[in-house]
Every structure is written in C-alpha cells, then in structure tokens.
Amino acid sequence: MKQKNSIFNDKKAAIGIIIFFFAILAVLVLGFFMAIVWGVIDIASDEITPIMEGLGMVGDTNLSEAATYTFGVTDTFIQAMPGLIALTYVMALVFTLVFIFIVGYNPHPAFIGLYIALMFLLIIGCVIISNMYQDIMSGDDDLASRLKEQTALSFLILHSPVIMTVIAGFGGVIMFSMRSMSEGISPGGFGV
C-alpha cells in the first residue's frame, strides 16, 4: 500500500529550505569578509611593494629586480582582485538559485511560513551587514578608501537587502512551484 506524502514525511524539503537560507547568508558574509580582507591586503601591498623594489644591489644580486618580479606581480594581481571578488559574489548568488534546480527541493506548501520567517531573518542580517559595511566605508582611513575603490562589490553589499529579497522571492517561487509541477497540479491556489 502506497503511503501518501504528508508534511511530516517531507524532511528533505524542510532541510532544503534551511540549506538555502544558510547558503545565501554564507555568500553575503563571505562577500563582506572578502571585501575587508582585500582592503587590508591592498594596504599592506601598497606599503611593502615600494620598499622591496627599492632595496637595490646586495653583492651580485639585484634585489630590486627580484622584488619587481615577485612583489610587483603580486601587487598587480591584488589590484585586479576587486573585479574577481565581485564576479565570484554574483556567481555564488546565481548558483544558490541553480542549486534549487539541481537538488530538486519541493517542500509542502505548509512550509511557506518557515520559508518566509527564514527569509525575513536573512533580510535583517542583510540590513545589519549593509550598515556595518556602510559604517566602515564612510570613514576617512585607508580601509575606507580601499572599500570605495571596490565599486561593484560595495554596491552589491550596500544594496544586499533588496538583492537578497529578489533572490529569496525567486527562490521561493521556484522551490514551491516545483512541487505542483511534480504532482501535476497547475500552479496557483493552494498548489502554489
């Protein structure tokens, strides 16, 4: 006898909602920390590179030339990092939506309340992180100037409440409409 799929047997889908919440939150927090870490590394690189390139000759070895090949190349890579970090951030956000398709979470409509509560917590977290980033960026120190140079990533983090609301909305529509499609129910109404 085939058992009817009840809400209580739908543990995988409930866990999927929680994983989706933590995945989006992790992307946001990692983006914030990557921006701060890049700023600190950029400050250190700007201080160390000129010193190392001005060492001159020591015996028969030209340390300035060696430093140009090592620290100069590293500094060039560090200067290119903001664009790579912003691209990685956007790709990670897109992957969270693609992850729903890959895994195929299709929660019962009774879990909409859980989903909305978790996404509300996500938006509160976005507001907190956005405000922290704004406070750091509005300073007049070296780190603030480095964060202002990261225009794309700064825009994404400062506007993360709106961006995450849109992603959470699309994610919810995708997640809850997959159940109705898998059961042959037309979307809408209580079939969501």
| Distance (Å, whole) CA 82 – CA 149 | 8
**Residue 8 CB neighbours (<10 A):** 9
- pLDDT value of residue 192: 46
Asked if 158 and 87 touch (Cβ cutoff 8 Å), the reply is no
Query: What's the chain's average pLDDT?
Result: 81
Tens digits of residue pLDDT in 93-109: 898 888 877 776 677 77
**What is the token pair recorded at 161?**
């409440």
Asked if 126 and 160 touch (Cβ cutoff 8 Å), the reply is yes
For the residues 41-49, what does the mean pLDDT come to?
Answer: 83
For the residues 134-162, what does the mean pLDDT come to?
Answer: 90
Confidence band for 50, pLDDT divided at 50, 70 and 90: confident
pTM summary value: 0.78
User: In whole angstroms, what separates CA 49 from the centre of its chain?
Assistant: 30
